[in-house]
Structure 1
Amino acid sequence: MNRNLFPLALGGLGIGTTEFVIMGLMQDVATSLQISIPTAGYLISAYALGVIVGAPLLVAASVKHNPKKVLMVLMVLFTIFNGLSAAAPGYYTLLVARFMSGLPHGAFFGIGAVVASRMAQEGKQAQAISMMFAGLTIANLVMVPLVTYLGHVTSWRYAFVIVALIGILTIVFLKMWLPDIRIEKSNVREELQFFTTGKAWLILLITSIGFGGLFAWISYISPLMTHVSGFSLKAVSYLMLVAGAGMVAGNLLGGVMADKMAPEKAAIILFLLLTVALSAVFLFSENQVISVILTFICGLLAMAVGSPINILMIKSADRSAMMGAAFMQAAFNIANSIGAYLGGLPITWGLGFQYPAFVGALMAMMGLLLTVTFMFRYGIKSKSWALR
């Protein structure tokens, strides 16, 4: 990995850890704070809401400032609020701290994506962005299971202490290793101008619906694997590692594909393959061997879509690139909420645990159709491009 990109990847590692570790520690938090598990579940929603609110507001506040300094300030906020999460005396304090922790998330990735693309050689911008998101995927593969285990055997509060320490390290490495990239200054009006176009909202719709296919499937992977595939409950953690390994590989694959071809074409190919893979999960999950293979493939394909879609937004937004990339993080969190909700409907209706994957396949297919619509309506003809 390019040393200059390491601070962005490290920040992604911290952000990915704090976003997902609460899911594994929910019961520990509920017991410690004497609340119900559904009430503890609002801690996940609070973080997601913070991402959605913070992404546009913090980018809007930072468009006239040096990106390196902005990234350092964002990570200072991230570190402080995760430290407050660790020290929260009660549920409502923790709820507010989780919301505040989510505020820098979208802005960090949004500004970081633009900075990474500016540092990259021509034709390797998507791979540079994928290196930043590698921290997020490695968090799911390594840090989340590790920190979750530590939280189980000690206290859930130590999970947020570790995240805060990662935040401190990120600040140090941002200071030492991130170049002082100059981005043409704009104002809030210019940054928001892109979002008066249909192109912008179509990309966000592709993200919110198409990427939601991942969450429709993975949100219910535990009952799928235990009730349909016949694995033990203990095996689920290992199966999540398989999915995480697929996501790490997919993140790298998506970056390469988005540099080798037009990003909308890469997204079309990946959405098509994801639709087929999720359909196969629905049809063949009773076979354990096939089920494990498909777990890796679905994780790979779902995460691979991320780089082409991010590049498509940055490339289309031009002078609104930072705001566009930040809005993408909000869209990914909307995809999380929509996917989990729609994937749960068949279970509510009394259908089998393989049906969330069927819903995921439909959402991926919708993402495919929307991307095809984008290509024919707004297709960017030039394969070679450069950000001004």
Structure 2
Amino acid sequence: MNDKIKNALLFVCLITGHFLFSQIDKKATKETKNLYKNLKLISKNHILFGHQHALEYGHGWSNEPNRSDVKSVTGSHPAVVGIDFSDFSGKSKDEIEKSKETLRKNVIETYERGGITTVSWHFNNPASDEGFYWKDGISKASMSLIKPGGSNHEQYKEILKTIADFAHSVKAKNGKLSPMIFRPYHEFDGDWFWWGKSQTSREDFIAVWQFTVSYLKDTLGVHNFIYAFSPDNRFNSEEEYLERYPGDDFVDMFGMDDYGDFGRDGKYDLDAGLKKLKIFSDLAIKKKKLAAFTETGLESIPNENWWTEILLKTLKSNDLQLAYVLVWRNDKTSPTHYYAPFPDQISEKNFIRFYDDPFTLFEKDLKNIYSTKFNLK
């Protein structure tokens, strides 16, 4: 093959790759790029199952090696494991380091097993006390303070350095950095967090988001993140969904957190939930990005057939292309705060049916998710 033909084929591959996958970090690690592409491929015919804090603790237990409630029921960990950067600020130095070490082990072990990590960030307010929730009379509207030029901007940069240091530290035995799906400022269209819509202008939200991504990626050299944008469910059109969208150069994945349409307080509006999923699934297809159902679930799972009759039936509808669905955590002490089944929980048998369905994928179903040799077992 002569050089002209080789160069022409290379050009076609580059152009095709550009149009097939619109990942924002052109310097992303090979493993992160492969994960992005493989998640896109999975979303066409399957969906990964995820569970928040799955390996850190579960219903009645905590800090036990290689344990998860999902594994206790199915024999496999969830394909996607949720962690949180909540303890990376607003704590003592010792507490931050202890948290980083616990999460580092979690992320590396998940990567080495072939699973995927997604990161939420319940960010403690850097300009006032009382954590990440908005509390009238106490909390400050701090997005305007941490944006470039704001009074707390330098402090914010130091917090992002802590996150970058962690991202650089999750190195597996093979010397590769573990990729992570980073989902900052989630549920921003609500008013319960200090970064919520009631406390933050559209312009300030976008400014902070764009700075966050650019600073991590371009200044601090973090190249193992996939960036996810996930409002709550307060939208009914593509235009409303994109109201605070920071732009195609700052987002890899579209998502949504939606508990309200899927049975919270005994209320179901599956048509509304499906409509919203379809809005950003189609958007991801149009923009050649990823989509995922970034949070959902039914607390205590009192509906014993919820997994197949509510969740799975919805996920299989209307040609959705979602890479994963993640349910919230199982608290270690609360008898009622859990979102995934454990042995003898009322929905356990139905969850096994959900697990056995060819459409759903768990960690055991994945092979080479970080490689060009990816295939399903």
Q: TM-score range by the shorter chain?
A: under 0.3
Q: State the TM-score, normalizing by the size of structure 1.
A: 0.23
Larger % of strand: which?
2
Q: State the TM-score, normalizing by the size of structure 2.
A: 0.23
